[in-house]
Structure 1
């Protein structure tokens, strides 16, 4: 035994904090004392300080049971009316809210009242276990799904309330409550099980010595199988060799009456032999009527409930395909049902079991006898014939006879048979084997009656004509069968291609989707082609509120909302067609990836349409790539958020570094000047005092500009900047800018080129002036001492340009687009290594607010930088132009 198996076994035996433990009290029949034993165990737990509640306990009027129940805390039952009858059910939500350590739930296989959250009580128990609550429960062996046929064969009673075997197999502890049949019958006669009237009816119908003995054996076998599983687990925990799981069991199922019986038998065999098992249906294109399809679907659903795998294969040969699949899955046992003794099967190699025995090598083939089918109630649904296909066979024969009669004068007798063969082929291609065989027989009779001498008679005079007719009938049957088989194969390939195309098309659409909305749009576009269904996708806002993301409107009734909430919380389908809240009209499928819900897919058939199991399975298959695409979109959003967070942190660090320097520098200079004036006072010469005060004023103005830049950038970023436009002369903007920066521009050689016939600007004058000040100040800072600085204003038909050129170090072409980013302070950039880097960003925001733009080029004589502000021109006002002239 490897270490992984031992580790798995040890982990399986460890208590899980997130899930409760199930203890089952199993009995062979009612009255053996299961509920009494459960209540006794509950009293023991309560004496040990375990908090518990009674969810539901059925005493059936037994005094001893009621006495034990009286000492335990109980949660009141929920009452509901159904068809005039008041029903009581366990308060599941109340138990979940109270959340005791242990809950007592009687009758595990009970069917809940219509309108309950779950159809079965064992589903309620699964929800309690998922909430971390331990459960004690009781069940009789006849309620196990895999034993349903055996119990019916033993007692003659069809048990309607069943539960999947895996529920019992998941129990942490199984306690067999046994009572000899004679003692049970005595208790029954004494009225300790049922009231006297019910007791007499039970003894006559169910509680017989033979029935109870057989049920007792089934209960012991079930308990023994559980003990065997526990023993194997114990061996694996010790690291010793345990009974190895070898091979696999395959059960071949068709749409006949014994399909469910085969599945139950396969489940029992797999459990006893410790084999994983699969239900395999080979679709060879044979026509299935509605009854056969329903039987097959019920068998597949039963296999899923019993823990089996459902596999659908498409191939023309059933036996060959089963053998190939068994080899691929390394199966050791194949279980099939006995075929009906048809004549054509005897002539062409026997049924499925005979072909498996003949061709399978190294496989164990088990055949389940079909004699028990006689005990099953026959369906009242009449088998409908496909009248149109058989009518086509008759019409084709008539047409072929007319055509052959028309050409009989020019064609020899053997060639006329080809006309009838063509009719048989046509019917086979258009329908199936049955109509093709009918057409071949009718063609045989028509050929004999019309063309074999003596004409218009079925008698045959010449011996060679008998052989001709027999060969004709054989060829017609073979060609018809071959053509029908090819048609079935073609239809099967079409179905497979359709399913593959659905998956491929959705995957291709989802691959191109980059965000959540794109993924949902792609899914909606793909599913919109399903005209018979309404499809929607919902998202949960975390407060039990549903948001429709795509698809049609959804009217949430109480049942619909409860089903959607349950599916979202538990990651399992709910609603229509399921065992959880099936009263609604929608089927809810959660899209989960890594145990996290991403969205909820809702499907509702249109009025008069059916939601077929094929569509349900295909949607389940499509949900996997859809969920993965949603997970990929969420990951992309998280990465983008992380990137933005990193950039924000980088900008914040740059802002703190820049502001701490650019704000502290003028403050330090101002503080030094003020301290000097306070300390020395009149001792400082008048000119020096004036210089200190002017320096303080300049630094204060510099500090004011920094703060104004920060405030302007904040207003620009939040859209709070208001444009108070008015007509203004470009010369006024230039003059005001030079006047405000006279101290900064004093060491430089400043020249302006301002034509007299410039048009007026319709702008917010203060903002454009501030933008021009930022550009000029930026140029002055990086101009060399006594360097030149030129300001040129020019106009075209649609824009006016303010160009500021300097002789500074210039900006590399690769970095010119970056200088307008906030906090950009590259060493070679236009702002060098100092400053907040907001000046040019503010310029771009202010000019852009007017519909303009900023460009960067070469400076004076190819040196330095030239920054140009481009502002759009409006139609000039006539009055202002005349005044200007």
Structure 2
């Protein structure tokens, strides 16, 4: 049995905690306070300055970044007591314009900044295209901002304001900017008082005031704008009230469902998006703009309308979704079911009457399907502005010429076979022509081909011939049936072609993503990852692509392509994209003058690098290419994160091995190197203390022991130095031609004292070829092996040294009579600091001798083999060296 009251309390506490967290600003982010008005002159700037003075009296350090007084004496007087930042002056088309000095405000880092006229458009060439983007950067820097805006500048209300006032407002602010404000203050003034202020010259100068009253400031217009401002403030109040309920732990209105709006490339697309934004705001619903791409050809005007609607949706805070299918209504319903949408908004279809009669519009088909959705249809005919025509959408000269040629060829072929085929069968030739045109072009040319085939069939083959008149009534039915079948087959073939094109586009994008993922999966280092990614991304973008990383000094260095300095504008855009995690540069609203489009490669909310596309001035990136690049950038970011993690793990592994090597080296120095030093010091102390008491034989024995230990210490130190040179790759090979007998003799002479208690036997042929080696290194390798054999051999034991030629290599085999090496340890004896203590003569040394031996022989292209000794006793270590072509004896002679 569960405790329902406890569960309810726990749920209420969770709601309250979530609400409190939501009420707090993001970590390190400033708060935005918006003073909203219905029209200019209601007192927004004045109210903002009054609030600023109040905060200044409270000890808040503030700065007036932009204050537009418009010559109003009361506002100017109120702004005098506030610290201000000088405005930047830019000359644009011969006019001197003033803009906010964003960098100066960021450098001053006040607690509060005053930024008037949020919807202002900056001078071309500024960092951001709009002032509200400057405000976002200030907020991201942790600076609180007070700002002002009029309701007609809200993006979602742009078309309504145009319908009310007849004036198209060009400067707009995305609604989400105002909706995310920490506080919204409505500055209200009745229309009559505002008109009186306008007549008194308190808003504009008298000449401008009369023009404004006639054009914009009518009492009716001001009343409607006032209502829109109150509705906007009321929506914000509703959101605040819901937030307050959640802070108290009570159930707030749930944001359930989603609003989907289906758009196409027609004139009402933007109106649909704005209407959907207002509906979603009133109902507190997340919303998406969905376009179903059927693969049909679009003219330039249609593409521009669609792209404008999608960009508008992104500015208003909506999601943009593109689906590929052949049937719009069922695709929308399927997507609505997947996203659990509750409202579906579409526009009134404007299909031709015969298409609506055959299949109905999208709205009619949606209403016929059982879906459980609220389906709204917006009729935008009355408010639709005149469309700017591009090239005709369906008129493609080549396709219609194909329809004419196909009809002519079909008529000729039908005339040729008319003597052997019955009349009904001749129609199949024309149907084949219609299918051919539909598959090769689109529906329009297919219908033209069907109509021309209908006329040709009637004119050439229906009695009376060479006439469009029809004698028999049954032939009328035949012709009508032919026309219907031609139209249907043409439509079906054209639809299949569109669907095939959609599938090809989808398959192409999927293939590019799959190929990139496969190549990135095979790449093992950063260089391979970048080489594979840049190749695919350049194919997708159709323009040069680069990947850059940020340096410690704040600059950027290319990871791919030639190392070339970025222009100042490109560096500024890259810096902004890196800091804010958003696209910047060419084709965006942030630093659009940059020649590069930048996209941050982020993993777990941290940037790893920047993807840059060098955009040609005449080849802007389309939305499809941008969407594809963003999709391909994600596996690249993940691959870079994987490589970075692998590099960190490799560095950790190397650090661990280095620590292990250091520990072993210290142990070796503390024991193996200390032992001969102790013996030498004991001998020297004995000589000093007992100089006269020692006999000559004892004194000689102590001196010889000191010499032997010094030679032993010298070999240990030489081994350490050689191992260091091998590990750092600084061991140079000074090759020369040398006889194997000379190397063997020199090595045995160096170890004569160590080998004196043993029996050393040599088996060497007299006609051995010369070796082209570094003689000192090969001699040192042989010395190490002989020393190892002597150390493990019993007293009076035998060491057998065999030198022979086998194939194209020289083999030097050293066999001892020691305890031998088990199979399990034979692969370890070449590891550094590994020693095997077997017998009373084992366990001495640093464990570097055989490791150095393997490094020296390997540097010459040889190898070392370990096997059982002669007669199965002891160990046999064989040095195998390659034999090059012997030098010309005449050439070597002096």
- The alpha-carbon distance between structure 1 residues 796 and 322, as it changes in their structure 2 partners (threshold 3 A), is closer
Q: Provide structure 1 residue ranges, at least 5 long, that are not aligned to the other structure.
A: none
- The alpha-carbon distance between structure 1 residues 199 and 675, as it changes in their structure 2 partners (threshold 3 A), is same
| Counterpart Cα distance in 2 of 1:824 and 1:23 | 72
**2:672 aligns to what SS in structure 1?**
helix
Contact 2:723 2:852 in 1 (8 A): yes
Instruction: Choose the corresponding residue for 2:879, options 869, 872, 883.
Output: 869
After superposition, residues 88-99 of structure 1 pair within 5 angstroms as 88-99=98-109
Contact 2:541 2:621 in 1 (8 A): no
The answer to whether 1:715 aligns with 2:721 is: no
The answer to whether 1:111 aligns with 2:121 is: yes
| Counterpart Cα distance in 1 of 2:255 and 2:834 | 68
Deviation at 1:192, TM superposition (A): 1.4
| Counterpart Cα distance in 1 of 2:296 and 2:654 | 60
The answer to whether 1:743 aligns with 2:763 is: no
Instruction: Choose the corresponding residue for 2:20, options 10, 14, 25.
Output: 10
- The alpha-carbon distance between structure 1 residues 324 and 859, as it changes in their structure 2 partners (threshold 3 A), is same
1:291 aligned partner? 301
**2:167 aligns to what SS in structure 1?**
coil
RMSD in angstroms over aligned alpha carbons? Answer: 2.8
**1:157 aligns to what SS in structure 2?**
coil
- The alpha-carbon distance between structure 1 residues 608 and 202, as it changes in their structure 2 partners (threshold 3 A), is closer
After superposition, residues 266-285 of structure 1 pair within 5 angstroms as 266-285=276-295
- The alpha-carbon distance between structure 1 residues 408 and 661, as it changes in their structure 2 partners (threshold 3 A), is same
Instruction: Choose the corresponding residue for 1:792, options 802, 805, 809.
Output: 802
Deviation at 1:736, TM superposition (A): 4.2
2:388 aligned partner? 379
The answer to whether 1:308 aligns with 2:318 is: yes
Q: Which moved more, 1:405-414 or 1:187-196?
A: 405-414
Contact 1:279 1:309 in 2 (8 A): yes
Contact 1:819 1:830 in 2 (8 A): no
2:176 aligned partner? 166
| Counterpart Cα distance in 2 of 1:454 and 1:64 | 93
2:714 aligned partner? 704
Instruction: Choose the corresponding residue for 1:322, options 332, 341, 348.
Output: 332
1:360 aligned partner? 370
- The alpha-carbon distance between structure 1 residues 196 and 789, as it changes in their structure 2 partners (threshold 3 A), is same
Q: Which moved more, 1:60-69 or 1:289-298?
A: 60-69
The answer to whether 1:184 aligns with 2:232 is: no
Q: Which moved more, 1:346-355 or 1:311-320?
A: 346-355
Deviation at 1:282, TM superposition (A): 1.5
- The alpha-carbon distance between structure 1 residues 871 and 311, as it changes in their structure 2 partners (threshold 3 A), is closer
Deviation at 1:553, TM superposition (A): 7.8
2:233 aligned partner? 223
Map Cα deviations across residues 555-579 of structure 1 (whole Å, 9 max, x no partner). 7322122222222232211111111
Instruction: Choose the corresponding residue for 2:661, options 651, 654, 664.
Output: 651
The answer to whether 1:338 aligns with 2:311 is: no
The answer to whether 1:69 aligns with 2:79 is: yes
- The alpha-carbon distance between structure 1 residues 752 and 560, as it changes in their structure 2 partners (threshold 3 A), is same
Deviation at 1:165, TM superposition (A): 0.9
1:565 aligned partner? 575
| Counterpart Cα distance in 1 of 2:840 and 2:399 | 87
Deviation at 1:662, TM superposition (A): 0.8
**1:371 aligns to what SS in structure 2?**
coil
| Counterpart Cα distance in 2 of 1:830 and 1:143 | 96
- The alpha-carbon distance between structure 1 residues 724 and 278, as it changes in their structure 2 partners (threshold 3 A), is closer
| Counterpart Cα distance in 1 of 2:302 and 2:625 | 18
Q: How many residues align?
A: 882
Deviation at 1:422, TM superposition (A): 2.6
Q: Which moved more, 1:790-799 or 1:95-104?
A: 790-799
Deviation at 1:427, TM superposition (A): 2.3
Instruction: Choose the corresponding residue for 2:546, options 536, 544, 548.
Output: 536
1:439 aligned partner? 449
| Counterpart Cα distance in 2 of 1:33 and 1:435 | 61
The answer to whether 1:470 aligns with 2:480 is: yes
- The alpha-carbon distance between structure 1 residues 419 and 865, as it changes in their structure 2 partners (threshold 3 A), is same
| Counterpart Cα distance in 1 of 2:453 and 2:890 | 104
Instruction: Choose the corresponding residue for 1:125, options 116, 135, 143.
Output: 135
| Counterpart Cα distance in 2 of 1:13 and 1:460 | 81
Contact 1:253 1:280 in 2 (8 A): yes
Contact 1:819 1:829 in 2 (8 A): no
**2:599 aligns to what SS in structure 1?**
strand
Q: Which moved more, 1:619-628 or 1:492-501?
A: 492-501
The answer to whether 1:201 aligns with 2:214 is: no
- The alpha-carbon distance between structure 1 residues 758 and 393, as it changes in their structure 2 partners (threshold 3 A), is closer
Deviation at 1:739, TM superposition (A): 4.0
Contact 1:825 1:831 in 2 (8 A): no
| Counterpart Cα distance in 1 of 2:543 and 2:777 | 59
| Counterpart Cα distance in 2 of 1:525 and 1:324 | 36
| Counterpart Cα distance in 2 of 1:319 and 1:644 | 60
**1:373 aligns to what SS in structure 2?**
coil
The answer to whether 1:246 aligns with 2:250 is: no
Q: Which moved more, 1:433-442 or 1:871-880?
A: 871-880
2:3 aligned partner? none
Provide the TM-score with structure 2 as the length reference.
0.92
Q: Provide structure 2 residue ranges, at least 5 long, that are not aligned to the other structure.
A: 1-7
- The alpha-carbon distance between structure 1 residues 472 and 830, as it changes in their structure 2 partners (threshold 3 A), is farther
2:5 aligned partner? none
1:577 aligned partner? 587
Map Cα deviations across residues 15-55 of structure 1 (whole Å, 9 max, x no partner). 44421111111111111111112122222222222222222
| Counterpart Cα distance in 1 of 2:342 and 2:396 | 40
1:155 aligned partner? 165
| Counterpart Cα distance in 1 of 2:346 and 2:158 | 19
| Counterpart Cα distance in 2 of 1:82 and 1:326 | 48
**1:241 aligns to what SS in structure 2?**
coil
